Structures are given as C-alpha cells and as structure tokens.
Amino acid sequence: MEVILYSAEWCPWCQMTKKFLIENKIKFKEVNVDKSPEAVVELIEKTGQMGIPVTVVDGKPIIGYDVQKLKEALKLK
Amino acid sequence: MEEFDLIIIGAGPAGLTAGIFASRRLLKTIIIGEVIGGQVMSTTLIENYPGFKQIKSVDLVEKFEEHVKSLGVDIIQDMVVEINEVDDGFIVKTTSNEYKAKALILAFGKSPRTLNVPGEKEYTGKGVSYCANCDAPLFRGLPVAVVGGGNSAFDAAHYLSQIASKVYLIHRSETFRAFDSLVEDVKKRGVEFLLNTEVREIKGDKFVRSIVVENKITGEKKELEIRGVFIEIGSEVKADLIKHLVKTDETNHVCINEKTETFYPNSDKIRPGIFAAGDLSNVPFKQIVVAAGEGCKAALQAYNYIHKIETKGIVGDWSAGKK
C-alpha cells in the first residue's frame, strides 16, 4: 500500500493526520507543501485539490482529516 | 452492546475535561468524537489557556488527550448518527457501532458556518477553504477573497496579505466584530474592503476562478477574478441529532441551567440524564477554559445523577481531586 501525505508544519489538521498514521503504524511518505513550490504543483496535479491535508492511498486522495475515510482506505478497524 | 455509566459526545476541551472528571469519579465512561480537540484544531496558536503563555493547538490537544487516556477513558473517533432514549438510559449509534449509557454529556461543539451559495460545495478544496491556517500558502502570488467580519476573518486576511497577490475582504455589514487593533492592522496592509456586500456565486472550471458579489445597498453586482475564497463567517451548532431530546434556543444552542442540566424540548422541565457543556450550550463566552470548566461541571453533575445525589447550593467538591 502506497501512502503519501501532503501537509505543512503550520497546519493543525495535517499534524493530526500525521499522528493518526503514525499511531496506526502506517508507512507513509510526507510531502511538505510549504517547503517547495513544486510540491504545491504536484499536489494540485495529482489530487486536484487546493487544500491540505490530503492523504493519497494507492492513488486515491482523501481530503482533510477524515478519520472514517482514512480508516476505510487503510483498511483499519 | 457495550454498556457504560456515561457517554460523552464530543472530544473537544469540554468533552475531554468531562472525561477526566468522570474517570476520577470512577464512572465507566467513553468519549465519542469525530475530531479530538474539536474546534481548537481550527486555530494554530493558543495564548490564553492558563499555564501556557503560548502553545500550539495540536500540542494542547495532545496534552488533554494524554491526560484522558492516562485515566483509562477510551476516545472513540467516530460520528454519532442517532441518539435514542430507552427505559434505563440512552442508546448512541455511530457509523460503526452502538453504545448504551445511563447518562449522556453533549459536548460536540460547533461546526463552521457555510455561505450556502452556488459553487461553494462544488469548489470546496478546489479554491474554497474554511481553514486559512491550513491552505493559505497554496495561494502564494494569487488573488483571493476572505468572507467575514470577525477575528478569524481578519486573522485570515492579515495572514493572506503576506502571501497572496491581492486580498479582498467581503463583509455583509459596515461594522466588524473583530478587535479594532486587528482591523487597523489589516487596513494598513492594502486589503480591499467590500462592505455591505454578499457573495452570490462562486464560479470556476476545475478550480475557483471568480466570485460574484452584490452590494446590498446599491444592488450593484460585480465579478471578482480570484483563485481562493476563505470563508470565515463563524460557526453553528448542528442540532439535528439532539432536537428530539433537549431544548435548544433560537440559535440552536442547547439550553442548560447552572448545573449543566438540560431541558425537555420546548419545555422548562429538566431532562434527567442528559447534560451539556462547551460551545454547543447557551453559556456565553466561547473559550477553551470556559468549555473545560463546563465539562468538569457536567461530569460531576452526571455522577450525582447516576448515584442519585442531590446537588446542593454552594458546596466544595475537593473529593473530585482525590482518588
């Protein structure tokens, strides 16, 4: 399962999403949109979103810190 | 179905504090909430919670959560979809489970208010944002609009003025609820104010490209080319879940008395077993410290209810601090 989290340090919901992934022992790649303009372009192109956090699970974007959708996509109980 | 003494619905400061006090009273308790921290998570820095001159919202929430969990209270991250009364308590249904309890504390706070205009839903996450702290830097060098007249709208305009190429502040009246100092600061930053003005439509292709606004006095409509709309028009209680159980006021806040007891709908008769705390109640001053205090009161009152103890006048309750 490939999991990418588009986030930023100053975004509380991003920090919650990151914490959720760590607590559930999910391996993920974090892309910090604040640190590179390229990451913003990548976020928009790959997910069609202009908002963070976005968690991409096997190509499917989950918008915001949505625990139910994250649990479903990550097949967590 | 698992049974509890107390179910707390909501995991913000009120709900989490209620969990701490309920646990110390040895009530079998769970907290059910969609977001641990609740509305605290909509802000970045907290500068008015006693004991912390300045703390990140995430860090304060983490401290609350650790405290609750250290006392053995489970926090279920789930959405409550139905609450019903049965002979000996209440059944709370979530999207994935059912729980039963002798008493409930309603503490699910408020949700961001929406504009309810064409295009808003369609373009959420595609230019429409309810969290400037989160999304502002994605609009670097682009024109944006902020809608609202309170502190959060002015905070957003202030922040965006350092990032965006142009910032409009759209407000439906001529006066602001924001602090005067913040208003003056934003004025100095070249933000263009459109007052007595309402948003009528949000337009775009894949993403937002413009908004249509109308001056309420002159009736003049114009279309502003912008790429982001930050909606900061306050919050509201989503009371549909509880309207059949408790009395709410004209703004959907749950009516409570000084003991956090609720009332039957359209009545002044106390509704046994349901207590309310935090921003969803009609208690004034929506602050973290107030919500926490009300959460404490609700838990102690729930304990008295479950153990059939009458709460009398002004009494010390120091035993709540001892195990």
pLDDT value of residue B318: 59
Taking only the tens place, the pLDDT of each residue in B105-122 is: 999 999 889 999 999 999
Low-confidence ranges of chain B (pLDDT < 70): 313-323
CA distance B70 to chain A (A): 16
With CB atoms and an 8 Å threshold, state whether A12 touches B95. Answer: no
B175 Cβ partners below 8 Å, 6+ apart?
B149
pLDDT value of residue B313: 64
Q: Which residue segments constitute the domains of chain A, with CATH numbers given?
A: 3-73 (3.40.30.10)
DSSP label at B199? E
Is the CB of residue A49 less than 8 Å away from at least one CB of chain B? yes
Q: How far apart are CA B109 and CA B2, in angstroms?
A: 25
Give the domain ranges of chain B. 2-112+235-321, 128-231
With CB atoms and an 8 Å threshold, state whether A68 touches B207. Answer: no
Residue in B217, B212, B215, B170 with CA at minimum distance from that of residue B191: B170
Pick the residue from chain B with its C-alpha nearest to A35.
B137
Taking only the tens place, the pLDDT of each residue in B176-212 is: 988 898 899 999 999 999 999 999 999 999 999 999 9
Is the CB of residue A9 less than 8 Å away from at least one CB of chain B? no
Confidence of residue A40 (pLDDT cuts 50, 70, 90): confident
Pick the residue from chain A with its C-alpha nearest to B130.
A51
Q: In chain A, what residues touch B57 (CB-CB under 8 Å)?
A: 12
- Angle among Cα B246, B92, B22 to the nearest 5 degrees reads 80
Residues of chain B whose beta carbon is less than 8 angstroms from a beta carbon of chain A are 34-37, 41-44, 56-58, 62, 77-79, 95, 124-127, 129, 131, 133-135, 137-140, 206-208, 227-228
With CB atoms and an 8 Å threshold, state whether A50 touches B34. Answer: no
pLDDT value of residue B99: 97
B129 Cβ partners below 8 Å, 6+ apart?
A50, A51, B135, B136, B228, B229, B230, B231
Q: Is B131 in the active site?
A: yes
Is the CB of residue A41 less than 8 Å away from at least one CB of chain B? no
With CB atoms and an 8 Å threshold, state whether A13 touches B134. Answer: yes
Q: How far apart are CA B194 and CA B170, in angstroms?
A: 5
Q: How far apart are CA B139 and CA B269, in angstroms?
A: 52
Pick the residue from chain A with its C-alpha nearest to B79.
A68
Is the CB of residue A51 less than 8 Å away from at least one CB of chain B? yes
Pick the residue from chain B with its C-alpha nearest to A8.
B134
Q: Which of B59, B74, B88, B134 is catalytic?
A: B134
pLDDT value of residue B314: 58
Alpha-helix runs per DSSP H in A1-77: 12-23, 37-47, 67-73
Pick the residue from chain A with its C-alpha nearest to B58.
A12
**Collapsed DSSP state (helix, strand, coil) of residue B204:** strand
Q: Is B255 in the active site?
A: no
Q: How many CB atoms neighbour CB B122 within 10 A?
A: 14
**Domains B2-112+235-321 and B128-231 in one fold:** yes
pLDDT value of residue B133: 77
Q: Which fold would CATH assign to domain B2-112+235-321?
A: FAD/NAD(P)-binding domain (3.50.50)
Q: In chain A, what residues touch B56 (CB-CB under 8 Å)?
A: 12
Place domain B128-231 in its CATH homologous superfamily.
Answer: FAD/NAD(P)-binding domain (3.50.50.60)
CA distance A50 to chain B (A): 5
With CB atoms and an 8 Å threshold, state whether B135 touches A52. Answer: yes
- Amino acid identity for residue B284 in this structure: P
Angstrom CA distances, B21 to A9, B17, B68, B273, stand at 33, 6, 9, 17
CB nearest B134 (choices: A14, A37, A68): A14
With CB atoms and an 8 Å threshold, state whether A8 touches B137. Answer: yes
Is the CB of residue A48 less than 8 Å away from at least one CB of chain B? yes
pLDDT value of residue B323: 47
* pTM for the predicted model, two decimal places: 0.80
